[in-house]
Amino acid sequence: MEYGIKEILTLIGSLGIFLFGMKMMSEALQKVAGNRLRTILAAMTSNRFVGIITGFLITAIIQSSSATTVMVVSFVNAGLLSLSQAFGVIMGANVGTTITAWIVALLGFKVDISSVAIPIIAFSVPLLFSKHNSRRYVGEIIMGFSLLFLGIGLLKSSVPDINHHPEILEFLKNYTALGFGSVLLFLLVGTILTIVVQSSSATMAITLIMCSQGWIDFPLAAAMVLGENIGTTITANIAAWSGNIAAKRAAFSHFLFNMFGVCWMLVAFYPFTNMVQTIVEKIGPSNPSEISAFSLSLFHTMFNICNICILVWFSNYIVKFIEKIIKKKAVPTNDNDEIFHLQYISTGLLSTSELSILQASKEIVVYGERTHKMFNQVRDLLCENETIEFTKRYSRIEKYENISDRMEIEIANYLTSLASGRLSTESKKQVQTKLRIISEVESIGDSCYNIARILQRKREQEVEFSKHIAEQLQTMFELVDRAMSQMEHCLNDDDFQLSELHKSQNFENEINNLRNQLKTQNVEDVKDGKYPYNISTLYMDIVVECEKIGDYIINVVEAIADFKAEK
């Protein structure tokens, strides 16, 4: 039998078409239902059964358990879901992913969809070139669906024909007669294959074809399915690798759930597979070519449902166990804000770019809070008279400035990476808004540092502000502080109202009016000789920087308001 490099490449290419079709369909479905998915998951309660149903439905819709689990890790990373809530969704996703196997089993083998896949693509072409996003996404769904089944058809035709070339079984015979050792071996094969192709659905399709073509019998194919359940957890764990502690815990819960299921299934493997085969013999299809696919799909579904029925009652204990296994790193409280680290953003989660904007939103809130703390350090610096304490506080402000610059770069790079992906029009506008916001927040940090440098010059020149000047500056600082608190509220408020903008504009007007008043008064005081010109210069420089901060704050709030108005 001739099965050389060309045939192997054809087989790999067929798998590539299958994977690309699934990726296109999954991404398009996420874009169509992106906002709805966010709403559903964000509104998730601690009810584990609601979480299971949600995980099942979302995975059934987007046809990818990996996408669902990575999405859940993203939400946990962003603080929108607790570990307990995420565990419920992950359990449901394991059942939802079996829908793909049923589609392949009932349609991909029963009906030759690959023969009509290309004509179906013809219907998607006009939609793909539509100016309307919704129509274009529907076109991508149809295109992805067609490519998925075209890939299955090509896979079926690319594998060696066992009936006409039985010699291909020679190497398999060495591994299929090892008893339970064969089960463990093919479990490992399923795990490795899923890790390599990064899709349990693709590995499931390969397993279905191998079983239907007679390469392996049903028990060994079932063992491969168990391996696929372990391999599919790798995607979420890779995504969580650069995430925070909550994301790592959520990803590990997926691995723990599937690993536990595989362990108890290995104990009951032969009785369970015999039970599945008995059920298929009674209610399954009569066509022998369809029996193996039906049996595997039923095994996959029953295994995951049984695993949920066992573990759902112990979910709280499992969560506590995971929290003990993956512990938070102890960070000194005083130094926590002076250590540069992004809390929510992690590049490993970019695989769900449509939803990763939430990560950026949470990080920008943290960015605003850090900048506000930097401003409070500057306020304290004004009142500091001790040289040693002044130096320590000034050094801390310098650290905050460096962190501010690095945070802007990291968040901007992340948002730029998102913008280069396949985003909806609304999400692209959201990314542009957030880029504008972080630029303004960074400018606030620059002005805070400028005030600190002015106070440093004041100390070097050994001059003192009068009680009147100190009181006027504290009044200005108080207004700026209130404006920054309002900005933080706007950044953290999903239900932004126009009244929030008006409130920020009032603060801005108060800051401007006080600036004008202090400038006028300063000219009169210098003329009257109340203080020398060099003190006047330092005084007014601080006032001007405070007014700039007010401008940057209102720019942030207006950016939020403009985006909300366009929605």
- Asked whether residue 339 falls in the same domain as residue 298, the answer is no
pLDDT value, residue 176: 62
pLDDT category, 240, cuts 50, 70, 90?
low
Q: How many domains does the chain have?
A: 2
284 Cβ neighbours under 8 A, 6+ residues apart: 290, 291, 294, 295, 298
Kindly tell me if the per-residue pLDDT of 284 is higher than 90.
no
Q: What is the DSSP letter of 338?
A: G
324 Cβ neighbours under 8 A, 6+ residues apart: none
Model pLDDT for residues 500-553, shown as the tens digit of each residue: 999 999 999 999 999 999 999 999 999 999 999 999 999 999 999 999 999 999
| Alpha carbon of residue 342 to chain centroid | 14
**What value does the mean pLDDT of the chain take?**
80
Kindly tell me if the per-residue pLDDT of 471 is higher than 70.
yes
pLDDT value, residue 303: 92
pLDDT value, residue 57: 82
Cβ atoms of 296 and 211 within 8 Å: the answer is: yes
Cβ neighbours of 170 (radius 10 Å): 8
Kindly tell me if the per-residue pLDDT of 318 is higher than 60.
yes
What proportions of the chain, in percent to the nearest 5, are helix, strand and coil?
85, 0, 15
Cβ neighbours of 383 (radius 10 Å): 9
pLDDT category, 452, cuts 50, 70, 90?
very high
Cβ atoms of 550 and 543 within 8 Å: the answer is: no
Region 74-80: what's the mean pLDDT?
65
pLDDT value, residue 38: 57
pLDDT category, 349, cuts 50, 70, 90?
very low
**DSSP line for 243-311:** S-HHHHHHHHHHHHHHHHHHHHHHHTHHHHHHHHHHHHHHHS-S-HHHHHHHHHHHHHHHHHHHHHHHH
Region 99-119: what's the mean pLDDT?
66
Cβ atoms of 308 and 52 within 8 Å: the answer is: yes
- Asked whether residue 400 falls in the same domain as residue 292, the answer is no
pLDDT value, residue 563: 85
Q: For residue 312, give Cα distances in angstroms to 84, 92, 272, 316, 393.
A: 11, 10, 20, 9, 52
Kindly tell me if the per-residue pLDDT of 186 is higher than 90.
no
- Asked whether residue 321 falls in the same domain as residue 363, the answer is no
Sign of dihedral through CA atoms 498, 499, 504, 507? Answer: positive
pLDDT value, residue 351: 45
Region 229-241: what's the mean pLDDT?
75
pLDDT value, residue 163: 46
The residue ranking higher by pLDDT, 552 or 231, is 552
| Alpha carbon of residue 334 to chain centroid | 30
Q: Report how far residue 219's alpha carbon sits from residue 116's, in angstroms, rounded to the nearest whole number.
A: 33
- Asked whether residue 311 falls in the same domain as residue 388, the answer is no
- Asked whether residue 352 falls in the same domain as residue 451, the answer is yes
- Asked whether residue 316 falls in the same domain as residue 367, the answer is no
Q: Report how far residue 443's alpha carbon sits from residue 456's, in angstroms, rounded to the nearest whole number.
A: 20
pLDDT value, residue 350: 41
Q: CA angle 153-157-163, nearest 5°? A: 130
Closest listed residue to residue 303, CA positions, set 247, 263, 361: 263
- Asked whether residue 347 falls in the same domain as residue 312, the answer is no
Region 97-126: what's the mean pLDDT?
71
pLDDT value, residue 359: 77
Q: Report how far residue 206's alpha carbon sits from residue 190's, in angstroms, rounded to the nearest whole number.
A: 10
Q: For residue 359, give Cα distances in angstroms to 27, 30, 73, 308.
A: 18, 17, 11, 29
Helix (H) or strand (E) holding 149: helix 133-158
Query: Which conformational region is residue 125 in: left (phi greater than 0), alpha (psi within -120 to 50 degrees), or beta?
Result: alpha
Sign of dihedral through CA atoms 94, 156, 277, 282? Answer: positive
Least confident of 140-154, 285-299, 327-341: 327-341
Cβ atoms of 125 and 139 within 8 Å: the answer is: yes
pLDDT value, residue 319: 87
Which residue segment(s) compose the domain that 275 sits in?
A: 5-325
**DSSP line for 489-535:** HHHT-SS--HHHHHHHHHHHHHHHHHHHHHHHHHHHHHHTTSS-HHH
Where a domain ends, among 296, 325, 354? Answer: 325
The residue ranking higher by pLDDT, 207 or 197, is 207
Kindly tell me if the per-residue pLDDT of 99 is higher than 70.
yes
pLDDT category, 354, cuts 50, 70, 90?
low
Kindly tell me if the per-residue pLDDT of 166 is higher than 90.
no
Least confident of 128-132, 230-234, 348-352, 470-474: 348-352
Closest listed residue to residue 209, CA positions, set 146, 173, 157: 157
Kindly tell me if the per-residue pLDDT of 42 is higher than 70.
no
- Asked whether residue 118 falls in the same domain as residue 259, the answer is yes
pLDDT value, residue 51: 81
Q: Report how far residue 351's alpha carbon sits from residue 346's, in angstroms, rounded to the nearest whole number.
A: 11
Q: Report how far residue 509's alpha carbon sits from residue 550's, in angstroms, rounded to the nearest whole number.
A: 9
486 Cβ neighbours under 8 A, 6+ residues apart: 500, 503, 504, 507, 553, 557
Give the helix ranges, DSSP H, for 63-132: 65-77, 83-96, 98-103, 114-128
88 exposed, middle or buried (CB, 10 Å; 0-12, 13-18, 19+)? buried
- Asked whether residue 298 falls in the same domain as residue 353, the answer is no
pLDDT value, residue 76: 73
The residue ranking higher by pLDDT, 7 or 476, is 476
Cβ atoms of 565 and 481 within 8 Å: the answer is: no
CATH number at 452 reads: 1.20.58.220
Kindly tell me if the per-residue pLDDT of 235 is higher than 70.
no
Cβ atoms of 121 and 1 within 8 Å: the answer is: no
Where a domain ends, among 325, 349, 376? Answer: 325
Q: Report how far residue 513's alpha carbon sits from residue 517's, in angstroms, rounded to the nearest whole number.
A: 6
Report residue 165 as tokens.
């070339």
Kindly tell me if the per-residue pLDDT of 200 is higher than 90.
no
| Start-to-end C-alpha separation, the chain | 62
pLDDT category, 477, cuts 50, 70, 90?
very high
pLDDT category, 84, cuts 50, 70, 90?
confident
- Asked whether residue 338 falls in the same domain as residue 320, the answer is no
pLDDT value, residue 494: 72
- Asked whether residue 301 falls in the same domain as residue 348, the answer is no
pLDDT value, residue 30: 63
Where a domain ends, among 295, 325, 355? Answer: 325
Region 447-459: what's the mean pLDDT?
94
Q: What is the dihedral of CA 193, 199, 204, 206, to 10 degrees?
A: -60
Cβ atoms of 441 and 552 within 8 Å: the answer is: yes
- Asked whether residue 279 falls in the same domain as residue 392, the answer is no
Region 328-346: what's the mean pLDDT?
56
Cβ atoms of 397 and 378 within 8 Å: the answer is: yes
Region 243-262: what's the mean pLDDT?
84
Percent over 70 (pLDDT), the chain = 76
Kindly tell me if the per-residue pLDDT of 479 is higher than 90.
yes
